[in-house]
Structure 1
Amino acid sequence: MTERLAQARALLAAHPVVDGHNDLPWALREQVRYDLDQRDIALDQRAHLHTDIPRLRAGGVGAQFWSVYVPSRLSGDAAVSATLEQIDVVRRLADRYASDLRLAHTADDVEAARAEGRIASLMGAEGGHSINCSLATLRALYELGVRYMTLTHNDNIPWADSATDEPSAHGLTRFGEEVVREMNRIGMLVDLSHVSADTMRDALRVTDAPVVFSHSSSRAVCDHPRNIPDDVLALLPANGGVAMVTFVPKFVLPEAVAWTRAAEENMRAHGLDPVATTPEAMKIHQAYEEANPRPVATAATVADHLDHMREVAGIDHLGIGGDYDGTPFVPSDLADVAGYPNLIAELLERRWSEADLAKLTWRNAVRVLRDAEAVARDLGTHRGPSLATIDELDAAGA
């Protein structure tokens, strides 16, 4: 495996990872209230975080979508304000670490960052509650640099159903469809992680541009509602989109699903958010794990998903979205952002070609970003900003 790891690192030097989802901004909010002096990511922060610049470099990361996530318990203007604070810290990180990070708004920016030896830093909003049912707010987030929006997080919103809530809209409402169209028009990628299967299908029916799944794996391999059903994966070649496999054990390892459910209930019993990564939360997680050893996922577990997803969707429609700093548990050999070579080595062992791996790590994600930009240019020639409101479109309960 040593030889495979060397081969993997060489491949990543030429074709670095574009990772679809990292929750470092929220971890910085939770742990230090955005005080970057307390979490200097130029230094090794493994005692606190999955992510820092030395480990991004070691992992072969060339571009990162930083999630400007806010929890769905926040709503209305509070959600919008918190999203703006998340955007602010990403911009501050790029300014503070300008020799290593470069803000990127376009595919050309991503390529330029790579040419400069910097890590392209893009942003993705995680959940439509971040726009408070306002298309003008959506456009404002785009102007601030947000390049994808996950339509929901863990809870339904008024215009779209989440994968982990009870069906309400049964997909997208008419206003939800208008959100997708407006995202196409401005060039913001439609992210279908976290949404229900019906929402996935509705969005794929409506969209003119390729979609992304920023951090989702295969439901056929691990039957969790956060994963992508095969019939949806089979729609990606016609759409041109990319499904970015995630590393979260409860989404990739069937044996981990029940264990994680019990661990989350334990967190709630202590009055904490199940996905919290504060020091207090991690102590409770650790104590629970010591008393109840967890099933452990590995890079091979993730590779099983990629093998299946390649069979269904094809190599041109796969990517990577680790969800680091957004989960308390990770696979044993993908413990942080330095771990990507272990996954690439596993895929090399399974006879994935270097050309296919280059698509997985870099080319597919950059292509989708570029294709969405092209759709926006085309739509902009004959479609102006949408002035639709949710009251206007969904008044009849559509």
Structure 2
Amino acid sequence: MNNPYIIDGHCDSLIHFVDGERTLQDPSEGGQWDTRRALRAGVSLQFLAAFIETEYKPARSTSRGLQLIEGAQRFIADYSDQVFLVLGKSDLTRIPDRERIGILLSVEGGEILGQNLFMLDKIYQLGVRALGLTWNQRNALADGVGVPQSQNRLTRLGQEVVLRMNELGMLIDVSHLNEAGFWHVLELSKSPIAASHSCAKSLCNHPRNLTDQQLRALAKHKGVVGVNFYPRFLKETGPVTREDVIRHICHIAEVAGVEAVGLGSDFDGISEVPIGLEHVGDYPYLIEDLIKAGFSAKEVEQIVGRNFMRLLTDVLK
């Protein structure tokens, strides 16, 4: 089969660029994601997350978030020969571009909004097209999975954010959101949603993973789950390899349909990686494994890119 284009629903490399640790250009700088290896591997669209670290919360969440967005803008401007910003449907028509990677800017954590709905419009104007409503903690929108035994649904502000995101054409990301919030989002959202970097709970009982019921509901809503490469989300004990990523992909495809599964590496946001899938340059090996697992060429194309493309086409304006 021809090499399919790849869309990765989540990486945290932006922090390294903003903090001056790496240019994100050269593998010799270290890290798990850079443009050189990504281009060689066939990555055509990368969700680039502005992750607001815990030490900035709550007082400095907005300023840190805006600093990260400014850094993303600078990264895209400085390396316009290698990357371009995806803002809407018209930009999706440029994918795949074998010489440049599309960048979809996301924010991981509704803390950037503070308690102000108008901030959603502001970050949209700055180029943000996806928002994870929470990280693991509670914020003004909802509770994350790290809030013990939380049964809270979205706050009033959280509900307003979901509806406004639908109006703007922003992708709602429920990775890190508690289960009650997940179900509330599905009740409210008129557009399909994503769990950009999550795995299957029935295979690994971790709070960050989704139950089979959640997976089916997400699929019914025409959403996509980007399978996360973090070993602790893939397997509870023992060494973790690329085969464990395939195992989660197969399970989600079986439970929710192949149309519901994608890739969400979490590269540069994870301290451990599966053996054989240690950086973005290893994607071709994952594609080979999908073929060996029995997926057809069409199904492989859906999993590694076309499912996220269909989702973005449905959501973006």
Question: TM-score over 0.5 for the alignment?
Answer: yes
Shorter-chain TM range is: over 0.9
Give 2:307's match in structure 1, choosing from 335, 360, 364.
364
> Mind listing any 5+ residue stretches in structure 2 that lack a counterpart?
none
Asked if the contact 2:134/2:141 (under 8 Å) is kept, the reply is: no
Q: Return the index of the structure with the highest Cα Rg.
A: 1
Tell me how far apart the structure 1 counterparts of residues 250 and 23 of structure 2 sit (CA, whole Å).
37
Give yes or no for the alignment of 1:18 onto 2:1: no
Describe the SS at the equivalent of 2:203: coil
Give yes or no for the alignment of 1:84 onto 2:73: no
Kindly report structure 1 stretches of 4+ aligned residues shifted beyond 6 Å.
none
Give 1:226's match in structure 2, choosing from 208, 213, 217.
208
Tell me how far 1:254 sits from its aligned partner: 1.3
Report the counterpart of residue 237 of structure 1 in structure 2.
Answer: 219
Residues 290-301 of structure 1: pairs in structure 2 closer than 5 A:
295-301=238-244
Give 1:325's match in structure 2, choosing from 264, 268, 287.
268
Give 1:193's match in structure 2, choosing from 162, 175, 179.
175
Residues 227-376 of structure 1: pairs in structure 2 closer than 5 A:
227-255=209-237, 295-373=238-316
Report the counterpart of residue 175 of structure 1 in structure 2.
Answer: 157
Describe the SS at the equivalent of 1:68: strand
Tell me how far apart the structure 1 counterparts of residues 141 and 67 of structure 2 sit (CA, whole Å).
24
Give 2:133's match in structure 1, choosing from 124, 127, 151.
151
Tell me how far apart the structure 1 counterparts of residues 68 and 293 of structure 2 sit (CA, whole Å).
39
Higher mean displacement: 109-118 or 329-338:
109-118
Residues 113-124 of structure 1: pairs in structure 2 closer than 5 A:
113-115=95-97, 117-124=99-106
Tell me how far apart the structure 1 counterparts of residues 153 and 37 of structure 2 sit (CA, whole Å).
39
Tell me how far apart the structure 2 counterparts of residues 238 and 17 of structure 1 sit (CA, whole Å).
23
Tell me how far apart the structure 2 counterparts of residues 332 and 44 of structure 1 sit (CA, whole Å).
18
Q: Give deviations 1:243-283, integer Å, cap 9, x for gaps.
A: 1101000111111xxxxxxxxxxxxxxxxxxxxxxxxxxxx
Higher mean displacement: 237-246 or 161-170:
161-170
Identity of aligned residues (%): 31
Asked if the contact 2:242/2:286 (under 8 Å) is kept, the reply is: yes
Report the counterpart of residue 108 of structure 1 in structure 2.
Answer: 90
Give 2:27's match in structure 1, choosing from 22, 30, 44.
44
Tell me how far 1:134 sits from its aligned partner: 1.2
Asked if the contact 2:10/2:196 (under 8 Å) is kept, the reply is: yes
Tell me how far 1:94 sits from its aligned partner: 1.3
Tell me how far apart the structure 2 counterparts of residues 164 and 81 of structure 1 sit (CA, whole Å).
23
Report the counterpart of residue 126 of structure 1 in structure 2.
Answer: 108
Tell me how far apart the structure 2 counterparts of residues 118 and 71 of structure 1 sit (CA, whole Å).
29
Asked if the contact 2:135/2:177 (under 8 Å) is kept, the reply is: yes
Asked if the contact 2:191/2:315 (under 8 Å) is kept, the reply is: yes
Compute the TM-score of the two structures, normalised by the length of structure 1. Answer: 0.76
Describe the SS at the equivalent of 1:114: coil
- Let me know the Cα RMSD of the aligned residues: 1.7
1:112–1:156 CA distance, 2 compared to 1 (3 A) = same
Tell me how far apart the structure 2 counterparts of residues 168 and 358 of structure 1 sit (CA, whole Å).
38
> Mind listing any 5+ residue stretches in structure 1 that lack a counterpart?
1-6, 256-294, 375-398
Tell me how far apart the structure 1 counterparts of residues 93 and 61 of structure 2 sit (CA, whole Å).
32
Report the counterpart of residue 213 of structure 1 in structure 2.
Answer: 195
Q: Give deviations 1:46-68, integer Å, cap 9, x for gaps.
A: x5211122211232211001001
Tell me how far 1:168 sits from its aligned partner: 4.8
Report the counterpart of residue 64 of structure 1 in structure 2.
Answer: 46
Compute the TM-score of the two structures, normalised by the length of structure 2. Answer: 0.95
Asked if the contact 1:72/1:154 (under 8 Å) is kept, the reply is: no
Tell me how far 1:77 sits from its aligned partner: 5.4
Asked if the contact 1:159/1:169 (under 8 Å) is kept, the reply is: no
- Structure (1/2) with the larger helix percentage: 1
Tell me how far apart the structure 2 counterparts of residues 51 and 179 of structure 1 sit (CA, whole Å).
31
